[in-house]
Structure 1
Amino acid sequence: MNAKKKLIDLIKDFDTAMLVTRSHDGLLDARPMAIAGAEDDGQLWFVTDRNSGKIADLMLEEGVAVTMQGSNTFVSLSGTAHAVDDRAKIDELWNEAWKVWFPEGKESQAITLLRIEPSHGEYWDNSGLTGVKYLLNAGKAYLQGERPEKDVEANASVSL
C-alpha cells in the first residue's frame, strides 16, 4: 500500500482530532473536535458554531494543524480550513449526538462546517503486525547499540 493511501485509511479510523489554529494574539490554540467526515482525498469536515473562537481565528489565518492519536497510531496534518455554509452537507453529515451543542438540531442557524484541506500529512503506525515488526527491529537495534531503521510502512511523510 502506498503511503498516501495508508495515511487516508488511518485518518478514516479516527472519530476525534485536535484542531490547532493561530489566535488573534499569535498563540497556537488547540481544541478537541469530533470528526464529522473524512473524504477519500484526505479532506476533513468538522461541525462548529459560527460564533466560536476558531472561526474568528480562521478569519485572520486559515492555516491549521490537525492531530489524531490512538493507542498505537498517530496522524498529523497541516493545511487550510474554510468555513462552509452548506445545508445539504450538514444534512449528510449530521449526528444526533451534536444536539448537545445545537439543541435546535441540524436546522440551527448557529451551525457551520469547517472543511480542512490538508496539504501535508504524517503518520506513525505501530499497530498490529507493523507494531510487532517495529518491536523486533527496535529490540535488535538496542542489542546492537544502534537506532532502528525507519519503516515506511510504519511511518511516512506525505504530500496531499
Structure 2
Amino acid sequence: MTEHHDSSPADPVTVTSDPDAVAKAHEVMSSMDIAMLTTVDSSSPDGRLTSRPLSTQVHEEDGDVLFLVRSSSAVADDVRANAHVNVAYSSRKAWVSLAGTATVVDDRALVQQLWSKGADAFMEGGPENPDNVVLKVNGDTVMYWGGDSLIGTAVDTLKMVTGKGDQEDAGPTVVELP
C-alpha cells in the first residue's frame, strides 16, 4: 500500500517517480541527520500520534532510512502495533516528509555495522546488547521543499505563501519511491 502526501489543491505540487527525482530526494534527506519519527501511540486508545527525535544511521538510495532503537522502547512497541510512520527532517535549506512503514530488525551484524560513538551516548550495552535493534523505515513517498540553497528555499516558500511570482516551482515535490 502506498502512502500519499496530500496538500491543498491550490498549492503547486510536482508528483513524480522519475529516478532523477528519487536521487534528488535522497540527496536532500542525506544532508540531514536528526529526524522526527511519528508513530501511532500503541498505548493510546484514541490513536494519538507521537513524534520522537532519532539520529539517522543510514539514508538508502531508494528512500529507506535506518535508525538504532531499543527493542523494549515505546517506539518499537508502536511500530509493532501499527507500522505506518512518518519521518520529518528540517534544515535551513529544506524540509522533508517521508511516509512509509517501519519494521524492527533484530540483526546483530547490522547493529554492529551501524553502531557509532553517538549510539554509545544514548544506548546502553553497545552493539552486543540484544535490546539494541534497527528500526527500518521503508519509504513509499517523500515530499520535499527546497534543498538547493537557503535563499532559493526562502523565495519558493514566499511564492507559495503569497501566491505571487512564478508558481511553477514554488511548491513541494512529491516523489513516489521504488
Place the TM-score, normalised by the shorter chain, in its bin. 0.7 to 0.9
Q: Which residue of 2 aligns with 1:16?
A: 34
Question: SS state of the match for residue 110, structure 2?
Answer: helix
**CA shift digits 1:98-125 (9 cap, x unpaired):** 1123332111121010000000110001
Residue identity (%): 28
Question: Aligned partners of 2:51, 2:165: CA distance in 1, in Å?
Answer: 32
Structure 2: which 5+ runs fail to align? 1-18
Q: Which of these residues, 21, 26, 50, is aligned with residue 29 of structure 1?
A: 50
Cα displacement (A) at 1:134: 3.4
CA distance in structure 2 between the aligned counterparts of 1:18 and 1:133, rounded to whole angstroms: 22
C-alpha spacing 1:148/1:58, structure 2 compared with 1 (3 Å):
same
- What TM-score results when the alignment is normalised by the length of structure 2? 0.77
Structure 1 residue 158 corresponds to structure 2 residue 175: yes
Q: Report what 1:122 is aligned to.
A: 143
Aligned twin of 1:88: 109
Instruction: Give the number of aligned pairs.
Output: 154
Q: Does 1:104 align with 2:125?
A: yes
Structure number, greater radius of gyration: 1
Structure-1-length-normalised TM-score: 0.85
Q: What's the Cα RMSD here?
A: 2.6
2:93 corresponding residue in structure 1 = 72
Question: Separation in 2 of the partners of 1:130 and 1:80?
Answer: 33
SS at match of 1:57: helix
Q: Helix, strand or coil: the match of 1:79?
A: strand
* C-alpha distance 57-9 of structure 1, shift in aligned 2 (>3 A): same
What displacement does 1:129 show?
8.1
